[in-house]
Amino acid sequence: MPFIVKDCVRCGVKNIQMIVVGQISHEPNEWEVSAACTDCKQLSIWLWRSRSGAEPMKIGGNLEKTDYPADVRGPVRIATVAVDLSEHIPARIADLFREANECRQMTWYEAAGAIYRKTVDVATKHIYATDQRLADKKPADALRVRIKSLGEMKILEADIVELADVAALDGNDAAHDVDPYTAEEAEALEDITMDLLDRLFVRPARFAAVKAKQIASGQRKPD
């Protein structure tokens, strides 16, 4: 059975054997091969060029080390699934989160971590731009200082301040630390950032909607 040895673009495992399970040719001697990672079992697509006319599925063993002159290029990077976000998250912030999520799925973990940090950055600036209590306030340039100030001014509750600060600090690691930012770190930061966005935008919007319904029905007096 033919296989290739590559870094999996689905799970990020390095130098993993991937079993070739399908092929299609668009040009003479050029093929797209579908290969399943032996670790995560997910498929990815790779470009394979044969200089002898041989078909990849008819060759046994490693496609890069055969008696037939050939090389594997690629991969074709289409391995992302769109994330579903609440309509209550502001559009710019949602777009940043989606971009970070796509980077994580593509195994670009350091890029993902840096963009999750930017998501938090833009989210806190959005609060300054939209909260009437901050109309005469200028946000600090430094993200962590800005987060702390939102807590000191009682705009954000203490647990949300801590959550935002953890996300910001971990995003700093992704952007500046010499050591590689890992898949586990990127996934954890995604969860933390999603939790933060839920607390900043989704829960307050849902709470306001339920409260407005109660006021409209006469169950609650307006504030």
Q: How many separate domains does the chain show?
A: 2
In terms of residue numbers, what domain contains 15? 2-76
Per the domain annotation, does 86 fall within a domain? no
Distance, CA of 105 to chain centre: 6
Q: Are 115 and 96 in contact (CB under 8 A)?
A: yes
d(CA 213, CA 223): 14
Structural domain ending residue among the three candidates 76, 104, 138:
76
- What's residue 79's pLDDT? 59
Per the domain annotation, does 83 fall within a domain? no
- One domain for residues 109 and 211: yes
The 3-state DSSP class for residue 99 equals helix
Distance, CA of 140 to chain centre: 27
CATH number of the domain residue 133 falls in = 1.20.120.330
What average pLDDT score do residues 2-21 get? 90
- One domain for residues 11 and 104: no
Per the domain annotation, does 29 fall within a domain? yes
- Let me know the angle formed at the C-alpha of 95 by 89 and 99, rounded to the nearest 5 degrees: 130
Longest dimension (CA), the chain: 82
Residue 26 has pLDDT above 90, yes or no: no
d(CA 131, CA 202): 15
Residue 35 phi/psi, 5-degree rounding, is -130, 140
- One domain for residues 109 and 69: no
- What's residue 68's pLDDT? 64
- One domain for residues 100 and 68: no
- One domain for residues 69 and 97: no
Mean pLDDT of the chain: 91
- One domain for residues 156 and 203: yes
- What's residue 81's pLDDT? 79
- One domain for residues 135 and 180: yes
- What's residue 35's pLDDT? 94
Give tens-digit pLDDT for 47-94.
888 877 788 888 888 887 766 666 777 777 665 778 899 999 999 999
- One domain for residues 48 and 104: no
- One domain for residues 102 and 133: yes
Bin 74: left if φ > 0, else alpha if -120 < ψ < 50, else beta.
left
- One domain for residues 102 and 56: no
Per the domain annotation, does 123 fall within a domain? yes
- One domain for residues 35 and 105: no
